[in-house]
Structures are given as C-alpha cells and as structure tokens.
Amino acid sequence: MTNLNNIVNDIEQYLKHQIEEGETNTEISQDIMEKLSNKTIPKTTTTVSDSTPATPTAPAKPAPTPTKTAKPATAVKVNATGCADMDAITLKISSCTQCSLAKTRTNTVPGQGSNSPEIMFIGEAPGAKEDEQGRPFVGRSGNFLEKMIVAMGYSRETVFIGNILKCRPPDNRKPTQEEIDICIPYLKQQIAVLKPKVIIALGATSVKGLLGKTPAISKLRGEWQKFEGIPLMPTFHPAYILRNQSKKGELWADLKKVLTFLGKTPPPIKKQ
Ligand code: SF4
C-alpha cells in the first residue's frame, strides 16, 4: 500500500534525476504536474494497490487544454516490491539515505545497461571514478570488464552492469556486512525486474552479497550456483585480474561456461 504523497514525492525526485541526466522531455499526467507545481498535495489517505496501476485522482477544476506536443499521461505502476520498474528503483536509490555512505557519496551508482539483458554482471561497490560519474565500472577495471564483455560477443548496452552497493565506501574500503544487508534489496529488486538468464558475480564480495557464501573466490569460481532460481557464475573481479594477469585464463574459462550455457560460441579473439 503506497501513500499518494510518497508517489508524488518520488516522481519529483525522479524528474530532478532525469534533468541531471540531461533529459529534456518526459511523459507525465496533467494532474500530477499540478501537484508538483503548486505543492498543494492533498492530505488524502488514498492508497494504491501493489498490483494495480496508480490512477491519478480527478482534478478539482477543469484541466487546461493540453498543448499540441502533450502526450497521453503515463500511470505509475507499483509492484509488490514498492518499485514500478528500473526507473523507479533508480529514483529510490538516488534519494536513499539508509546507510552512512549517503553522507560521503558524490553520486549514487545504480547500475547501467539493457532493460532485458541475458547477462547481469555484479561487482562490489563504486570506486572514486564511478562515484564521480554515477556510472558503474569506469576506469581501468571498467575498461577491462568491457573488453571481456566484447570478447563474449556482447556490449555494455546489451548486458547490465551493477554492484552490490550503490554508493562508494570511503577510501574504497570493503563494504561492511551491515551496508550489504541494508543495500542488497535494491539489487534484488533490479534482478527481479530485469530477469537475466545468467548472473556473473565478480569477486568475493559479490558472491557474499548474493549467496551469503564466504569461501575464497579461487575455490568457488567456475562452479555454477543459483540466486533465486537464476544460474550464477562466480568468477574473479576485473581489478583482481589486472593485478594477477596469470589468472586471465581461468576468468575466460568461466566466461566460456556462461556462453556455452547460453548456447553461444565465443567469437575468436583478435590478435593485437
Ligand atoms: S549504499 Fe545503498 S543503502 Fe547505503 S545510502 Fe547508498 S543506496 Fe542507500
């Protein structure tokens, strides 16, 4: 059950986020626009069913004639997790202050990629560059991950890349168990919406966050696991491979298992 005031506040945050992202157009009902512009949100107890699209209440006075460019209103659908879709999850993350990392972050890093990916790559937490840009896996680790993705026959746009935590731990320290416990519901909501065919867990923290298992990644890697029914392949984190180039072959072997599972043949590696 969701209060109408919360929905309107969420939409307001969402629009701010869209503007920060450089968006100049979006679809929204006239009724909601009025509530956002004059802030006279009624202290109503009107609620929205978790499974029913939110229907804007009828305006108290006749709505002004829409301009020629106005588009039909888009209702906000709220599902059982309280989130409508990836945009709604991103919106919730952008204003999250549930753990202390909210005080030190520059940007939240919700994740990036396709809305219907075959593969979801999950790392640990944003680093300095990710925090600066609000994008996951940029910098050296990101470049390496992107090469892996391309070598598999995909691109950054056709997979989804995310992290266990959505905010950067100061000095790139490891996430605490408490931070993981507080933040992991966002990732679970993303997985539930995206429904990837395979999850690739990059590094020990990713495996710990998703499976609650803490054996050394060198022992668990390459062995199929399951996360809520979705096949999960644990492997090394790209940052670890950059420091331990001799492990590249093992990483590639794990990725080839994923491709085989998906019925794909890895494209031949081009000689540099
Ligand atoms: S790390 Fe997660 S729980 Fe903590 S503030 Fe960021 S989004 Fe919220």
Q: Are 90 and 61 in contact (CB under 8 A)?
A: no
Nearest atom, ligand 1, residue 93 CA: 7
Tokens of 103: 């005080």
**pLDDT tens for residues 196-217?**
999 999 999 999 999 997 878 9
Q: Rounded to the nearest whole angstrom, what is the distance from the C-alpha of residue 230 to the centroid of ligand 1? A: 24
Enter the DSSP assignment of 216: -
Beta bridge partners of 123: 163
Q: What is the mean pLDDT of the chain?
A: 79
- Calpha distance 204→30 (Å, rounded): 48
The more confident residue out of 218 and 232 is 232
Higher pLDDT, 232 or 58: 232
Torsional class of 68: left (φ above 0), alpha (ψ -120 to 50), beta (otherwise): alpha
Most distant pair of Cα atoms in the chain: their distance:
70
186 has a pLDDT exceeding 80: yes
Which residue has a Cα nearest atom 3 of ligand 1?
183
Q: Ligand 1 centroid to 138 CA: how many Å?
A: 19
The answer on pLDDT for 2 being more than 90 is: no
The helix or strand, by DSSP H or E, that contains position 86, with its residue range, turns out to be: helix 86-94
Instruction: Kindly report, residue by residue over 52-84, the tens digit of the pLDDT.
Output: 333 333 333 333 333 333 333 333 344 444 445
Q: Is 187 in the pocket of ligand 1 (CB under 6 A)?
A: no
Atom of ligand 1 nearest to the CA of 182: 3
Predicted confidence (pLDDT) at residue 17 exceeds the cutoff of 90? no
Structural domains for the chain:
1-78 (no CATH), 103-261 (3.40.470.10)
**pLDDT at position 192 over 70:** yes
Calculate how far, in angstroms, residue 178's C-alpha sits from the geometric centre of ligand 1.
11
pLDDT attached to residue 267: 73
**Pocket probe mutation, ligand 1, options 89, 90, 92, 96, max atoms within 8 Å of Cβ:** 96
Which is nearest to 165 in space by CA: 267, 231, 244, 93?
Answer: 93
Q: Is 166 in the pocket of ligand 1 (CB under 6 A)?
A: yes
Q: CA 38 to CA 45: how far, in whole Å?
A: 19
Q: Which stretches does DSSP call E strand in 76-148?
A: 112-113, 119-123
Q: What pLDDT does 28 receive?
A: 52
